[in-house]
Amino acid sequence: MRVTDTKHFEDYKAVIGKVINKLVENYEFKESSIDLKYRIKTSAVFSSNIEGNSIDINSFMNSVAAKEQFKHGKEI
């Protein structure tokens, strides 16, 4: 079910009630509130895979979290 579909909106509105207006009024629409760090990192890792780098996203994120060096042959 997609809430944005017109036929489902009335059901959604019945469940949420009068809170919809408050949610919209309090929503932060500025782009600065969106954290793109994870998306940029995953994009960079997948792009490096296209170029032949063998690192995967889990290894990269673990490396960033632990700040460790991988065995020779893995490029970060």
Which pLDDT belongs to residue 55? Answer: 87
Cβ–Cβ contacts within 10 Å for residue 27, how many? 8
In a domain, 55, yes or no: yes
What would the pLDDT profile of 16-62 be if each residue is shown by its tens digit? 877 877 888 888 777 666 678 888 999 999 999 998 888 889 988 88
Is residue 3 very low, low, confident or very high in pLDDT (cuts 50, 70, 90)? low
Which pLDDT belongs to residue 46? Answer: 92
- pTM equals 0.46
Which pLDDT belongs to residue 60? Answer: 86
Domain span at 23: 1-31
N- to C-terminal Cα separation, the chain: 41
- C-alpha 43/C-alpha 60 separation (Å) is 12
- Number of structural domains found in the chain: 2
Same domain for 27 and 46, yes or no, is no
